Amino acid sequence: MKSVFYLLDTAPYGSEKAFGALNAAAVSLSEMDVTLGLYGDGVYLAVAGQDSKKLGLPNLADILFMHTES
């Protein structure tokens, strides 16, 4: 495969799915063209100003923007 498409349709913190999709997309960057599709509740991943400190989880939007095309 030359490229890979990950589709995320769940909100960022309610389950491990967003974290999982984000990590999988991030590791794939070194070998393939990567597209992460945000669909349905998945769009919340891109919302600015997230504060996940009290959840004890990393700020997933920060991870997302760390890897986006500039």
Partner 1 sequence: MKTLTIVLTDGPYISEYAEIAYKLAGAALQQYKVNIFLYLDAVHIPKKGQDPSFFTNVGQLFSGLTEKGVVIRACARCAGARGYLPEEEIIQGSNCRDYFPGIRITSLYELSEMLSKSDRVISLSR
Give residues in contact with partner 1 (CB under 8 A). Answer: 1-2, 4, 16-17, 20, 23-24, 27-28, 30-32
Record the tokens describing residue 29, joined without a space.
């960057």
Percent of residues in the chain assigned helix, strand, coil, to nearest 5: 45, 15, 40
Least distance CB 48 / partner 1 (angstroms): 27
48 vs 66, beta carbon nearer partner 1: 66
Which C-beta is closer to partner 1: that of 6 or that of 59? 6
Q: Which is nearer to partner 1, 40 or 49 (CB)?
A: 40
Query: Is residue 41 classed exposed, middle or buried when 0-12, 13-18 and 19+ CB atoms within 10 A define those classes?
Result: middle
